[in-house]
Amino acid sequence: MLSTLTASDWDRNKAAILLHRAGFGGTPQEIDFLAAISPAEAADSLLGPTKFIPPDPPAFLEESGTEEALKTERAKMNSLPDPAKADARREIAQYQRSTQGRQMTELRGWWLKQMAEPARATREKLALFLHGHFATSFEKVRSPHLLYQQNSLFREKGYGMWSDLVLGVAQDPAMLIYLDGAKSRAEAPNENFARELFELFTLGEGNYTEKDIQESARAFTGWGIGATNGKKAGLQRGAQPSFKILPKWHDSGAKTIFGKTGNFDGADVIRLTLAQDAAPRWIAQKLWRFYAGWPAPEPLLKELVKEWQSLKGEIRPFLMAMWTNPNFYDPVRAADRVKSPAEWLVGLCRQVGRPLPAPALSAHILNQLGQNLFEPPNVKGWDGGIAWINTASISRRYEYGSWLVEGTQGMQKLSGLNMVKMAGESGLLKMSLPEITPEGVVIPRGIKDIDPVEKQAAAEKMRETLSLPPAPVVGIVTSEERQSPEKLLAALSSRFLSGETIPEDLRARFQQAAGGKTPFTDAAVRKMVLAIVQSPLYQVT
Amino acid sequence: MNNHELKTRREFLRTGLLGGSLCWTLPAFLSRTMESLHAQADGALIQGVTGRDGNILVVLQLAGGNDGLNTVIPMGNDEYRKARPTLGLTDSSILKIEPQTGLHPSLSGLASAYQDGHLAIVQGVGYPNPNRSHFRSTEIWATAVDSDQSSTTGWIGRYFDNACSGCDASVGIAMASQLPQSFAASTPKGVLYQGASGAKKKASKKKGAAAKDADGSMMTMDDDEENGEAGGSIGMLNGPGNLGHLSALDFLERTEMDAKVSQQEIAKASTKAKNSVPYPGSRLGQNFAMVSRLIAGGMPTRIYYLSLGGFDTHTQQAGAHERLLKEMGDAVAAFLADLKAQGNLERVTLMTFSEFGRRVKENASGGTDHGAAAPLFLAGGGVKAGLLGQMPSLAPRDLFDGDVKYNTDFRSVYATVLEKHLGVKSELILKKPFPLIAAYG
C-alpha cells in the first residue's frame, strides 16, 4: 500500500502545492485553511462531496429554432437551379460554422468559469485531465452540443469507477464521431477507435497485437449513433445524435481478443482490456504524471498499481491516496511540474483576485499558449510538461501576464486581435441564414454583408468588453507590507509561489522591479507581481 | 557551455533586456513583431545573400500518414486499379513525369519542378518492421533508430549536438506549435516561430485599407474561415519530450533566454528581405514565405521545420487528399521559385516525409487505413532530379499485411542529406552507416 503523510509532515508549502496541483490554485487564505487541517482532510476537502451537483449548463443549449430554420432553408436551397444552389449552400454552411464558432467560445468560457469556482476546481481539473486523455476535437466532431455532453460525462463520472468511464467514452457520440466508430460496420470495420483505445486510453503501445485491434474493431461494430428521432441510423446533419446499438451493423461472429474467443461486443472488449496487467499500470502512471508532473519510477509505480487494484479502479480514493503520499511532495522534483495554460490562466486570475477575461479573450489566450480547449492537437491530447514551453509560448505567457496584472488600458496591447472576428465569436455580430426569395434569388446575410458602420461599432464594443483594468492590489498587500521590498516580496511570494526557494538573482530581479520608493504604490506592487509572473519560477508548481 | 554561447549570453546581458531590466515586459511578443515586420518588409529592397552561406535543410512533415500511392502513382498498373476501384486516379488525369510514373493531378507545382530538374522522388521509403501507430512511427522517423529501439534524442538534435554545438538556439527554427521530437538534443536547440494564420496573411496581401489596418478589425470573419480542412484525429506533430540533463526550471530559464535572443535575430533578418514571388494564402504557403525571407535575410539557421496535418484519411479521402496535396505542392513550388530568384536555390534542400503511407487496398469508407512504405520528395538546386529507389510491387503476393514493402531505408535518405548537403559524417548522427542514395550530382 502507498505510504501516507503524517500530520507532522504537513506544512503550508505542501498545502500550497496541493491546492495548485489538485485544482487551479487559490488565495493565501485557502492555503492557510488547508495547512491547518490534516493532509487527508485537506485532500478530502478539496475533492469535495462524492455526490455530484451539476453546474448550470451553458446558455446555448437552450437556443431553439435553429434546426427548423436550417431545414426550411435547405429545402428551399434544393429546389434552386445550379449556380444559385451553390451560393445558397455556401452561405448556409458559413452560417453553421459561424454559429458553431460562437457556441464553442461560449462553451470554452463556461468551462473556464467552472474551473475558477473554488468548490468545483478539483472535479474540473480531473475533467481537464480526462479531456486530454480521451482527446476529442471540435475540428472533426463539429458539434458544440456533443462536446458539452462528453465534457459533462467527465465531470459527472470522473470520481467513479474507471471501467464505467471507459465504457461511457466508448459510447459517447463525440468519440464515436471522432474516432470513426459511428461509421464502422460489420462489412467494413474501422480500426481507428480500437487502436487508440489500446494504445492511448488503456494499455499503451506494445501491450496488444495488430490482430487484437482488428478483432476488437469487429466487436465494436454496431455501436453507433442515431438521430434522436430514431428514424434513421447514422449521423443526420443538424439533429443531435445519441448513442445507439445498431444490430444490423454488428459483426456477430466469433472473435479472438487477448487470447479469449467468443461472440464479443464492445463491452466485452473493454472488460477484457481492463483485465490486462498493463491496464492499471497505464492509468495509474498517467494520473500520477498529470498531477505530480513527473513519471513515477518503478518501485513507486508498483505501489500505485497495488493501490489502484485494491480500490478496484475507483478514481476519487485513488486521487486521495496519491495526494497524501510523501513522494507527491518530493522536494527534488518540486520545480519539475510545468503549469498547463488553463492552470496558468485560471490560477493567475484567482491569485490576483480578478474575474476571468471575457470568453473570446480567454479562449484566444489559451489557444495562443497551446491549449485550445476542445481542440487538442491530436488524439494523443496535449503532451504537457515541458512541451508547454517553447520560445514562442514563454514570450506569450509573459505578455499575457502583463495584460492580467497591469491591465490593457491606454496601451496597444489588444491591437493584435481581430475585433470583428471576436465580436462574431461573442455574439455581438450575428450572421443570419441567407434569404432565398420566391424568385430564387439568394441574398447573403453573412458577417461580411453587415453594414460597415455597424461592424465598426461592434468591434469598438468588443474592444471595450475585452479591455482589462489593472489587477486590484488593495486586498493583496497590507500597508505594513508596502514598507520594504523584503516584506513585499515575502507577502507576494506566499501568494504567487508555492514555497520554492527563490534563487538570489531572481530575488534581486523581483525586489528591484518595485523601484526604491516606499511605501510602495499600487503600481509598484503590480510591478513586483508582474516580475514574479514573468519568471521561470512562476511557470512551475 | 562553450565560448560562443557565453559570448552570446554576455552580449545579451549587455543589452539590458533581461539582466538589468528586472521587469521586462517584452516590447511585443515574437509573432506580433513578425506581423508588423511583414508590413515593413513589403517596402524593403531585396538584399543579397549575406555572408552566412552555409547549406540549409528544410524539412516538411506531412502528419497523419500521407497516401503515397495516390501521390506518386504507377501508371498503367492493373494491381493499382484493382486495389483502388474508387480512389484510383485515371491515367488521363495523372500528371505523367516518367513513362510509368505520374503525380497526383493537384501536384502540378511539383511536376514542373521535376521538369526543371529540381525535384528528386525517392520511392518505397520505409524501415524494417514497420509500426502502424502514428505516434510510434513518427517517433521512429524522428529518432532515426531501429523500430525496436528507442532514443531520447532526435536525428536533427544529434546533428545540432555534433555539428553546431557552438551555435545559437536559432540554428533550428520550427514553424509549428511545438518543437518537433526530431529536435530533441543533449543540449537543447531550436526555436519556434508560430506563424500567423493563413487568413491574416491573405488579408495583408490585399493592398489598401484592409492591409493597413493594424488591428485587423477591417477583416471579415470569412477571412478566418479557411481552417475547415480535413482535420481527422491526427493533426499536429508531437513535442520533443526530452529534457536532456535539464530540470524543468533549467529548461524554462534557457527558453526565456533563447526567446529574447532569437526574437532579435529573426526580427533583424526578416526586415532585410522580401519575397519575390506570390505565395498561396494558406498557412503552409505563408510559412514557406517566411522561411524564404529568413534565408534571404541571412539567418544562420541550418534547419527549418514545417508541417502540414490532416493526412489521416480513413474516410472520404479523395477531396481531402486533393486539397492537402494542392496546398503542399503550390507552397513548395512558390518557395522554389522564390529561392531561385534570390539565388539561394543551390543552398537549400527541401525534404518531405510522413510517418507512413497507407494501405494499398482502399477501405469501404472511401478512405485508406494505416500502411507502411511511401515515396518522399527532395527538392532544391543541388538535388539531382529523377526517380530513385523502386516503385514497390503492388501484387498481393509481394505485400506484407496488405502494405507495400520498403526498398529504401529512410535513414539512407537522412544520411545522404547529412553527408552530401550538410557536409557532416552521417554515422556520428545516425549511429551506424547507411548506404547513400544518388540524390545529388
Mark yes or no for CB contact A391/B249 under 8 Å.
no
Nearest-CB residue to A415 (from B215, B225, B228): B215
Q: Which positions in chain B touch A501 (Cβ < 8 Å)?
A: none
Does the CB of B232 have a partner CB in chain A at under 8 Å? Answer: yes
DSSP SS3 for B232: coil
pLDDT at position A67 is: 76
pLDDT at position A237 is: 44
Nearest-CB residue to A140 (from B233, B253, B256): B233
Nearest-CB residue to B252 (from A179, A370, A536): A536
Does the CB of B401 have a partner CB in chain A at under 8 Å? Answer: yes
Note the pLDDT tens digit of each residue in A157-187: 999 999 999 999 999 999 999 999 999 999 9
Q: Which positions in chain A touch B255 (Cβ < 8 Å)?
A: 389-391, 394
In chain B, which among 268-327 make CB contacts under 8 A with chain A? Answer: 309, 314-315
Q: Which of B252, B361, B401 to mutate to test the interface with A (most CBs of A within 10 A)?
A: B252
When computed from its CA atoms, the radius of gyration of chain B, rounded to whole angstroms, is 22
How close are the terminal C-alpha atoms of chain A, in Å? 26
pLDDT at position B188 is: 77
Mark yes or no for CB contact B191/A429 under 8 Å.
no
Residue of A nearest to B218 (CA): A420
B18 part of a folded domain: no
Residue of B nearest to A533 (CA): B23
Q: Which of A395, A461, A502, A507 to mutate to test the interface with B (most CBs of B within 10 A)?
A: A395
Does the CB of B26 have a partner CB in chain A at under 8 Å? Answer: yes
- Residue B164's domain comprises 31-40+53-217+226-430
Please determine, for residue B201, whether its predicted confidence score (pLDDT) is greater than 80: no
Question: Which residue(s) pair with B101 in the sheet?
Answer: B74, B98
Nearest-CB residue to A448 (from B220, B255, B259): B220
Sequence-distant (6+) residues with CB within 8 A of A517 are A524
Name residue A309's amino acid: Q
Residue of B nearest to A424 (CA): B221
Please determine, for residue B178, whether its predicted confidence score (pLDDT) is greater than 90: no
Q: Which residue has the higher pLDDT, B11 or B250?
A: B250
Mean pLDDT, residues A446-453 taken together? 88
Please determine, for residue B207, whether its predicted confidence score (pLDDT) is greater than 50: no
Please determine, for residue B232, whether its predicted confidence score (pLDDT) is greater than 60: no
CA B232 to chain A, closest CA, distance in angstroms equals: 6
B204: confidence class by pLDDT, cuts 50, 70, 90: very low
Mark yes or no for CB contact A377/B23 under 8 Å.
no
Please determine, for residue A378, whether its predicted confidence score (pLDDT) is greater than 50: yes
CA B381 to chain A, closest CA, distance in angstroms equals: 32
Share of chain A above pLDDT 90, in %: 78
Q: Which positions in chain A touch B194 (Cβ < 8 Å)?
A: 392
Q: Degrees (nearest 5) of the Cα angle B350, B351, B357?
A: 150
A227: confidence class by pLDDT, cuts 50, 70, 90: low
Please determine, for residue B154, whether its predicted confidence score (pLDDT) is greater than 50: yes
B3 part of a folded domain: no
Mean pLDDT, residues B348-376 taken together? 95
Mark yes or no for CB contact A335/B247 under 8 Å.
yes
Q: Which helix (H) or strand (E) holds A88?
A: helix A82-115
Mark yes or no for CB contact A537/B249 under 8 Å.
yes
Mark yes or no for CB contact A386/B179 under 8 Å.
no
Q: How far apart are CA A22 and CA A125, in angstroms?
A: 7
Please determine, for residue B7, whether its predicted confidence score (pLDDT) is greater than 70: no
Q: How buried is B247 (Cβ within 10 angstroms: 0-12 exposed, 13-18 middle, 19+ buried)? A: middle
pLDDT at position B240 is: 52
Please determine, for residue B222, whether its predicted confidence score (pLDDT) is greater than 60: no
pLDDT at position B164 is: 87
Q: 459510447: which residue's cell?
A: A171
pLDDT at position A239 is: 57
Residue of A nearest to B173 (CA): A391
Please determine, for residue A338, whether its predicted confidence score (pLDDT) is greater than 70: yes
Note the pLDDT tens digit of each residue in A89-115: 989 999 999 999 999 999 999 999 999
B216: confidence class by pLDDT, cuts 50, 70, 90: very low
Q: Which positions in chain B touch A389 (Cβ < 8 Å)?
A: 251-252, 255
A72: confidence class by pLDDT, cuts 50, 70, 90: confident
Q: Degrees (nearest 5) of the Cα angle B132, B137, B141?
A: 150
The CATH number assigned to the domain holding B356 equals 3.40.720
Does the CB of A424 have a partner CB in chain B at under 8 Å? Answer: yes
B170 part of a folded domain: yes
Note the pLDDT tens digit of each residue in A269-327: 999 999 999 999 999 999 999 999 999 999 999 999 999 999 999 999 999 999 999 99
pLDDT at position A499 is: 80
B5 part of a folded domain: no
Q: Which of A186, A136, A143, A190 is nearest to B314 (CA)?
A: A190
Does the CB of A211 have a partner CB in chain B at under 8 Å? Answer: no
pLDDT at position B194 is: 65
Q: Which helix (H) or strand (E) holds B378?
A: strand B374-380
Burial A133-172 (b: 16+ CB within 10 A, else e): bbbbbbbbbbbbbbbbbbbebbbebbbbbbbebbbbbbbb
Q: What is the mean pLDDT of chain A?
A: 92
A vs B, Cβ pairs < 8 A, gives 202
Does the CB of B39 have a partner CB in chain A at under 8 Å? Answer: no
Give the torsion sign (CA, A125, A126, A132, A136): negative
B438 part of a folded domain: no
Please determine, for residue B346, whether its predicted confidence score (pLDDT) is greater than 90: yes
Q: How many CA atoms lie within 13 A of A174 on its CB side?
A: 26
B195: confidence class by pLDDT, cuts 50, 70, 90: low
Give the torsion sign (CA, B211, B217, B223, B228): positive
CA B251 to chain A, closest CA, distance in angstroms equals: 8
B23 part of a folded domain: no
Mark yes or no for CB contact B22/A140 under 8 Å.
no
Q: Which positions in chain A touch B216 (Cβ < 8 Å)?
A: 416-421
Please determine, for residue B229, whether its predicted confidence score (pLDDT) is greater than 70: no
Sequence-distant (6+) residues with CB within 8 A of B337 are B277
Asked if residues B405 and B360 have their Cβ atoms less than 8 Å apart, the reply is no
- Among A220-234, A452-466, B138-152, where is mean pLDDT lowest? A220-234
A127: confidence class by pLDDT, cuts 50, 70, 90: very high
Q: Which of B12, B18, B21, B29 to mutate to test the interface with A (most CBs of A within 10 A)?
A: B29
Nearest-CB residue to A335 (from B191, B248, B314): B248
Q: 481539473: which residue's cell?
A: A125
Please determine, for residue B246, whether its predicted confidence score (pLDDT) is greater than 90: no
Mark yes or no for CB contact B192/A395 under 8 Å.
no
- Among A239-243, A337-341, A388-392, B421-425, where is mean pLDDT lowest? A239-243
Q: How far apart are CA A376 and CA A364, in angstroms?
A: 14
Note the pLDDT tens digit of each residue in A457-481: 999 999 999 999 999 998 899 999 9
How many domains, in total, are found in chain B?
Answer: 1
Residue of A nearest to B238 (CA): A383
Backbone angles phi, psi at A411, to 5 degrees: -130, 175
pLDDT at position B112 is: 95
Note the pLDDT tens digit of each residue in B403-419: 999 999 999 999 999 99
Share of chain A above pLDDT 70, in %: 97
B261: confidence class by pLDDT, cuts 50, 70, 90: confident
Mark yes or no for CB contact A398/B25 under 8 Å.
yes
Please determine, for residue B237, whether its predicted confidence score (pLDDT) is greater than 70: no
Residue of A nearest to B34 (CA): A416
B365: confidence class by pLDDT, cuts 50, 70, 90: confident
Nearest-CB residue to B249 (from A94, A187, A540): A540
Please determine, for residue A445, whether its predicted confidence score (pLDDT) is greater than 50: yes
pLDDT at position B219 is: 26
B165 part of a folded domain: yes
pLDDT at position B186 is: 83
What are the grid coordinates assigned to B364, written together? 469501404
Does the CB of A361 have a partner CB in chain B at under 8 Å? Answer: no
CA A110 to chain B, closest CA, distance in angstroms equals: 23
Spell out the domain ranges in chain A: 7-47+278-333, 485-539
pLDDT at position A134 is: 98
How close are the terminal C-alpha atoms of chain B, in Å? 38
Does the CB of B211 have a partner CB in chain A at under 8 Å? Answer: no
Mark yes or no for CB contact A415/B231 under 8 Å.
no
Q: Degrees (nearest 5) of the Cα angle B311, B314, B319?
A: 65
The secondary structure of residue A410, as a DSSP letter, is: T
Q: What is the ipTM of this complex?
A: 0.85
Q: Which residue has the higher pLDDT, B429 or A396?
A: B429
Mark yes or no for CB contact B224/A418 under 8 Å.
yes
Q: Which residue has the higher pLDDT, B291 or A235?
A: B291
Q: Which positions in chain B touch A338 (Cβ < 8 Å)?
A: 248, 252
- Among A438-447, A488-497, B349-358, B423-432, where is mean pLDDT lowest? A438-447
Mean pLDDT, residues A374-399 taken together? 90
Mark yes or no for CB contact B29/A417 under 8 Å.
no
Nearest-CB residue to B193 (from A191, A379, A392): A392
Q: How far apart are CA B42 and CA A411, in angstroms?
A: 26
Residue of B nearest to A138 (CA): B231
